Amino acid sequence: MRPMDRRAIPLHRSILRVAAQPALKGIQARCLGVICFECKDTMEFLNPDARSLVGVFCDLLIDDFRESDIVRLDTHGTFEDYADFFLDKLSDDALLILSLVTWHFDASLHNLSTTLLPPPSLLLHFILSGNDEELCEILWGNYTQSSGRETSLEAFATKFKRLIGLITEGFLLCFLGPP
C-alpha cells in the first residue's frame, strides 16, 4: 500500500462540511431514485419516515425539480439525519471533493458560509444523471489546486468514483436495512 499524502486541507472542516452537504444530499437523491425505480417491491417494508422521504423525492421528479420540492426534500428529517451521519464520518479530503462538486454547480455557495443550503437544482440534475465522467477532469484540477496535492487524473477519478460508491452503498444499507 502506498503512503498517503497527509497534508492538511487549507479550509476548516466546518466550512468543508457545509459546502459538501449539498453534493452529499444530491448523491442521496440519486439513491432515492434507485429505490423509486429499481426497488419498488421494498417500499412496503420501509418505515413510515423512509416512505415519506421517497414520496417527497417522487414529487420532486414529477414537478421537474420545483424549488419548493427541493426544500421539502432537503429539510426532511430522515434526509437530514442521513446527511449528518455521513458528513460526520467523511475525511476532510472527501469533504473537499464533495465541496468542489457543490461549488462547481453553484459558485454562490463558495462564500464560505456556515449556513446549510439545499442542493442547487443543476447539481441535482447532474448527480441524478449519473454522468460523473464529465466532471472528473474539472474537479481534478480544482482538487489539485485546493489541496496542494499532486495526483493523476486517473487516481483522482478512481478516488471520486469510490467516494460516490461508498456514499451510495452506505445510504442504501442504512435506508433499506433494519431500523
Query: What is the Cα–Cα distance from 31 to 64, expressed in whole angstroms?
Result: 17
List b or e across 137-170, with b for residues whose CB sees 16 or more CB atoms inside 10 angstroms: eebbebbeebbebeeeeeebbebbeebbeebeeb
Q: Are 114 and 106 in contact (CB under 8 A)?
A: no
pTM: 0.78
Cα–Cα distance between 138 and 66 in angstroms, integer?
28
CA distances from 179 to 27, 47, 48, 83, 115 (A): 21, 8, 11, 17, 30
Report d(CA 43, CA 24) in Å as an integer: 23
| Alpha carbons 113 and 124: distance in angstroms, whole number | 21
The set of cell numbers assigned to 79 is 434526509
Cell numbers placing 75: 429539510
pLDDT, mean of each 10-residue run, the chain (179 residues):
51 89 87 78 80 87 82 87 92 94 70 47 59 78 88 92 89 75
Sketch the domain layout of the chain as residue ranges.
13-130+164-176
The predicted pLDDT at position 115 comes to: 44
